[in-house]
Amino acid sequence: MTFPFYFSQNFILLNQDLSLSTPIEYLKGVGPQRGELLRKQLNVHSIGDLLTHFPFRYVDKTVFSSISQLVPNEYAQILVSVVNIEERGMGRSKRLIAIVDDGTSKMEILWFKIHRWLSESLVRGSKWIMYGKCEFNGFRWQMIHPDMEVYQAQSTSTLSKFEPVYSNGEILASKGLNSKGILKLITPVIPLLNEKNIPESLPNYLLEKLGLIPSWQAFRQIHLPKSIKELEDAQARLKFEELFYIRLKIIFAKAQRAQLNKGFIFSKSGDFFQNYFHHHLPFALTGAQKRVIKEIHGDMMSGKQMNRLLQGDVGSGKTMVAFLCMIIAVGNGFQACLMAPTEVLAAQHATAIGNYADSIGLNCCLLTSNIKGKERNAILKDLAEGKLHLIVGTHALLEDWVVFNNLGLCVIDEQHRFGVGQRAKLWEKTKPHPPHILVMTATPIPRTLAMTLYGDLDISIIDELPPGRKEIKTLHFKDVHRGKMFEFVRQQIELGRQIYIVYPLIEESEKLDLENLNTGYEKLLQYFPLPQYRISIVHGKMKPTDKHTEMQRFVTGSSHIMVATTVIEVGVNVPNASVMIIENAERFGLSQLHQLRGRVGRGADQSYCILMTSDKLSKDSVARIKTMCDTNDGFKIAEADLELRGPGDLEGTKQSGLIELKVANIFEDSKIFQAANAWAEKILEKDPNLENPLNSVLKQQLIKLEKIKFWSRIS
Ligand code: ADP
Ligand code: MG
């Protein structure tokens, strides 16, 4: 940066010269203090950053709401005159209150931070345009800290009838950088934008084919649209670009990795598979199970290393798919392992898979950190010598002391509990290629989202449940009706069924939660006394051996009720347990509720899920409980969940850049997403290394976006 830059605050405006990388301080109206704030609060460092701080909504400046027709909790723009102004309260509760009138009614405008200019300029009779959220406090309408400007009969700004609204936050607003303040910074920059200072970031052929406007124009129109059409054009262009590059980046990186990572070739399905498939299957596979096995085997014989995500609702039969894929590995001369997130789940899988394996004469063992001494040594020896074909375990399998003879496939259950780094540890266990990886998850999410979140994985979906499954009936009981719930439980036990009662356990309130569980347990003992009724109890703070004993009592049917924390969330399979009672259901997220519910409905009997909640519920909780009562479909639930919470809470969203989407919305813009994805695929298929000069802009953008490390690896 050369010296004179610092001297001219108006540099840009004087020279009509603009570069996106120019630090934000050089803009008129941004001094060192505001510059620091913009960096800290909005991550805006340069003029380019400011230009990508897009408005999140637009106000039609020519339209005003009437105070008499306001809607609570909605934003409105009003044209008012000040009737009265006064300060009330002392110290921290001091506030400035203006009564304003628009001819239809009066309302209160409140400020809790009082700037001198406010009290000076809000003189009685002055006319203002105010914009903000309207609330009704039971007596009168209120607006707090509105965006505002003095009304001028002939508006000076003829640029746009739509005024952009920018997000800012309290701190920026207190330094004059509320939405209007930000608009003031941006407005003089807009007319200076042209093809030179906003270089085109999409290839021309794409713009032409899709009828998209050029980048510089889109930037102008997204900030100061002159019409709806201009705004829509700008949004279409910028949304496409944003989603297109997300996909291009992911597909490109995947292709690069595939080039690098050759995989073991499982050319046949093998004798074990054939034998099991034709003579030992306990049930006919569903069409979906067959399809995903084909997809998976296709990967494993391709010569490339597989990285595949298997999605399927709870109870869709992922375990059998995993087992069949594992014996394909064995039939090709390799070992296979399955890794589960908890001891309980690993043990369950080991039992199921051990039984299947027995029938075709294969060995399968369980390995966890609790299996020690001689027993462990024997397992490790067999594993290293290749006598052990299949192994099921927890993350203990990743330890350095676990040495495989020739691991070919690793199945990972419930991906969200395993870090990517842990997956990498597996790779050190095999030579010359990394093992094939199959990740199974029961948290179904919409495909577009999955493609983005798990960008490095191919995706298979089991979209069909085994036949004969009865819908689980889901009921909601409030605490006041607890007696009815107990009565229901008693009836079900009389019919010979078993019952789960689950309590939430979250780390922050672990102690309280455990108390809650223990009180619940004691109450239960009074209602269901020994020896007629037997109750098991399991929670994370118990010794593993005690836990195991209690679980076994329930699994073998010798206890009627299992009281547990969410340790049973994943995987436990007791077909005779047909009632799931979830205590404090309002404290669970939707996907967790769905997981828990999936523990029942596995036997022949009608199953029930009872959601117990406190008597008073928040709006969000009501929505969640209603969703659960309305549907059993995991995909529908996942979508409702995303709608309620937004994708920000989903595991993996951070890395994917999804929550930083600036214009596009992964759900609303799914059509644009599909188009962007199709184009990204098509372009990379024809020009995998982006060497065609027509695509040079794509290559440059990728380098810029990603600072892609692996470029150096391509020769
Ligand atoms: P999840 O996908 O939740 O892991 P599981 O693999 O535990 O589901 O399967 C749930 C239950 O359904 C198990 O008892 C399993 O034996 C059974 N099952 C799996 N596939 C089928 C099928 N094709 N037909 C009938 N029952 C099946
Ligand atoms: Mg499972």
Domains and CATH numbers, the chain: 1-56+166-196 (no CATH), 63-160 (2.40.50.140), 271-462 (3.40.50.300), 473-631 (3.40.50.300)
Cis peptide preceding 72, ω within 30 of 0: no
Sheet holding 608-613, edge to edge: 473-478, 608-613, 577-582, 498-502, 561-564, 535-538
* Residue 440 tokens, joined: 């199974």
Residue 194: which residues within 8 A CB-CB, separation 6 or more? 216
Ligand 1, atom 14: closest residue by C-alpha: 602
Neighbours of 137 (CB within 10 A): 9
Residue 211: which residues within 8 A CB-CB, separation 6 or more? none
Ligand 1 nearest atom to the CA of residue 352, by list position: 16
Ligand 1, pocket-test mutation among 280, 283, 314, most atoms within 8 A of CB = 283
Give per-residue burial for 424-436: e unless 16+ CB within 10 Å, then b.
Answer: eebeebbeebbbb
Cis peptide preceding 432, ω within 30 of 0: yes
Percent of the chain that is helix, strand, coil (3-state, to 5): 45, 15, 35
* Residue 683 tokens, joined: 């372009």
Kindly give the pairing relationship between strand 436-441 and strand 561-564.
Answer: unpaired
Which ligand neighbours the alpha carbon of 313 most closely?
1
Bridge partners (DSSP) listed for residue 35: none
Query: Three-class SS of residue 95?
Result: strand
Distance 339 CA to ligand 1 centre (A): 18
Bridge partners (DSSP) listed for residue 502: 564, 582
Query: Is residue 319 within 6 Å of ligand 1 at its C-beta?
Result: yes
Bridge partners (DSSP) listed for residue 441: 311
Distance 570 CA to ligand 2 centre (A): 7
Ligand 1, atom 16: closest residue by C-alpha: 317
Question: Rounded distance, CA 449 to CA 664, Å?
Answer: 13
Which tens digits make up the pLDDT trace of 78-125?
Answer: 999 999 999 888 888 888 999 999 999 999 999 988 777 788 888 999
Ligand 1 nearest atom to the CA of residue 314, by list position: 3
Question: Rounded distance, CA 130 to CA 181, Å?
Answer: 14
Distance 283 CA to ligand 2 centre (A): 17
Query: Is residue 348 within 6 Å of ligand 1 at its C-beta?
Result: no
Bridge partners (DSSP) listed for residue 312: 462
Distance 171 CA to ligand 2 centre (A): 48
Distance 289 CA to ligand 1 centre (A): 10
**Apex CA 181: angle with CA 176 and CA 184, to 5°?**
140
Ligand 1, atom 5: closest residue by C-alpha: 317
Question: Rounded distance, CA 476 to CA 481, Å?
Answer: 10
Query: Is residue 146 within 6 Å of ligand 1 at its C-beta?
Result: no
Query: Is residue 444 within 6 Å of ligand 1 at its C-beta?
Result: no
Query: 75, 77, 113, 108: which is closest to 94 by C-alpha?
Result: 113
Query: Three-class SS of residue 608?
Result: strand
Question: Rounded distance, CA 108 to CA 97, Å?
Answer: 7
Distance 321 CA to ligand 1 centre (A): 9
Query: Is residue 119 within 6 Å of ligand 1 at its C-beta?
Result: no
Bridge partners (DSSP) listed for residue 605: none
Which ligand neighbours the alpha carbon of 351 most closely?
1
- Cβ contacts of 62-67, under 8 Å, gap ≥ 24: 62/161, 64/102, 64/129, 66/102, 66/104, 66/105, 67/101, 67/102, 67/104, 67/105, 67/106, 67/107, 67/141
What does the DSSP assignment read for 529-594? -TTT--EEEE-TTS-HHHHHHHHHHHHTTS-SEEEE-GGGSS----TTEEEEEETTGGGS-HHHHH
Which ligand neighbours the alpha carbon of 324 most closely?
1
Query: Is residue 601 within 6 Å of ligand 1 at its C-beta?
Result: no
Ligand 1, pocket-test mutation among 281, 320, 605, most atoms within 8 A of CB = 320
Ligand 1, pocket-test mutation among 285, 316, 570, most atoms within 8 A of CB = 316
CB 341 within 8 A of CB 570: yes
Ligand 1, atom 10: closest residue by C-alpha: 315
* Residue 583 tokens, joined: 């205590």
pLDDT at 426: 78
pLDDT at 158: 45
Ligand 1 nearest atom to the CA of residue 318, by list position: 2
Distance 103 CA to ligand 2 centre (A): 64
Distance 85 CA to ligand 1 centre (A): 70
CB 561 within 8 A of CB 535: yes
Residue 669 identity (one-letter amino acid): D
Bridge partners (DSSP) listed for residue 310: 440, 460
Question: Rounded distance, CA 547 to CA 539, Å?
Answer: 7
End-to-end CA distance of the chain: 35
Query: Is residue 566 within 6 Å of ligand 1 at its C-beta?
Result: no
Residues composing the chain: 715
Query: Is residue 320 within 6 Å of ligand 1 at its C-beta?
Result: yes
Distance 69 CA to ligand 1 centre (A): 56
| Cα→Cα distances 482→486, 497, 614, 622, Å | 6, 19, 10, 18
Which ligand neighbours the alpha carbon of 320 most closely?
1
Residue 73 CB-half CA count within 13 A: 0
Distance 318 CA to ligand 2 centre (A): 6
CB 127 within 8 A of CB 79: yes
CB 149 within 8 A of CB 180: yes
Which ligand neighbours the alpha carbon of 310 most closely?
1
* Residue 339 tokens, joined: 């890794």
- Residues in the chain with pLDDT values less than 70: 1-17, 154-161, 415-423, 444, 446-448, 452-455, 506-508, 567-572, 645-660, 706-715
Question: Rounded distance, CA 233 to CA 214, Å?
Answer: 10
Question: Rounded distance, CA 79 to CA 160, Å?
Answer: 18
Q: What is the crossing angle of helices 287-300 and 318-331, to 10°?
A: 40
Residue 153 identity (one-letter amino acid): A
Query: Is residue 595 within 6 Å of ligand 1 at its C-beta?
Result: no
Distance 173 CA to ligand 2 centre (A): 50
Distance 466 CA to ligand 1 centre (A): 7
